[in-house]
Amino acid sequence: EAQVTQNPRYLITVTGKKLTVTCSQNMNHEYMSWYRQDPGLGLRQIYYSMNVEVTDKGDVPEGYKVSRKEKRNFPLILESPSPNQTSLYFCASSLSNRAQETQYFGPGTRLLVL
Amino acid sequence: AQSVAQPEDQVNVAEGNPLTVKCTYSVSGNPYLFWYVQYPNRGLQFLLKYITGDNLVKGSYGFEAEFNKSQTSFHLKKPSALVSDSALYFCAVRADTGRRALTFGSGTRLQVQP
C-alpha cells in the first residue's frame, strides 16, 4: 500500500530534550515536506526537500532541523524543544516539485513539550 | 506572497441539503488549487485539485469545486450532504514559481446534522 508513515504518533517531552520524528514514504517520491498544524492557522511548512541531500527552509523553520540522506526518509529533528513547538506535525510527499503534483500526507505526530 | 482565506470557521448543513465551503486565494502566476479533508485523529486526505482546463473539478466522495479566476475563488460543493462528510476541510494553493510551497487556509469545520 502506498503510504507516508510517521513515528511516533504521540510524544510528550520536556524542554531541551532532543527528539526526532521519523517520516518514510514508499512511493519513490522526490519531494518531501514537513508541516505543523496549529488551531486557526492551518498548516505551515517547516522544511522541504526536493531530493536526496537537497533541503531548504519553509515558512517556520526556527528550532527545527531536517536531513535527507535517503530518498524514502525525511526525519524532523528538534535539537532543543520548547513549549511553543507543541503542535501537530505532518510529513508529506509528492512525485516531484511541480506545482500540479498532489502531496500525500502522513497520519500526523502530536507533540507536547512541557 | 501567496495566501488562502477560508472565511467560515464552521459550516452547518442538514443531511441531504447541498453544501458549500468557501475559499479565496491570492498567488502570483498560475494557481494550482487543492482541497483536503481531515477526519478526527487522521492525516489529510486529498479530495480534488484544479490545474488547468475545465473550471468545474470533480473529486472524491461526490465533492466538486468551481474555479473562478475573476473572483479568485475555489469553493467546494456537494449536491447532497452526508453525516459522514462532517470533518475539517482545508483549501490550499501552490504557485508554479519560487519554492512552490503549498499554502493552506485556516480550515473550515463542516457539521452535517442528521
Q: What is the pLDDT of residues B7-65, one digit of tens each?
A: 999 999 999 999 999 999 998 888 899 999 999 878 899 999 999 888 999 999 999 99
Q: How far apart are CA B90 and CA A43, in angstroms?
A: 9
Residue window 34-63, chain B: list those with CB within 8 Å of chain A.
34, 36, 42-46, 49, 51
Tell me the per-residue pLDDT of B65-85, one tens digit each, with 9 for 90 and over: 999 999 999 999 999 999 999
In DSSP terms, A80 is beta-bridged to: none
Q: What percent of chain A has pLDDT over 70?
A: 100
Q: Using 50, 70 and 90 to split pLDDT, how confident is the model at B108?
A: very high
> Which parts of chain A have pLDDT scores under 70?
none
Give SS3 for B60: helix
Which residue among A4, A45, A107 places its CB closest to the CB of B101? A45
Residues in chain A closer than 8 A to B32 (CB atoms): 99-100
Per CB-CB distance under 8 Å, the chain A contacts of B44 are 43, 90, 92, 105
Whether residue B96 has pLDDT greater than 80: no
Pairing of strands A19-25, A76-78: antiparallel
pLDDT at B99: 67
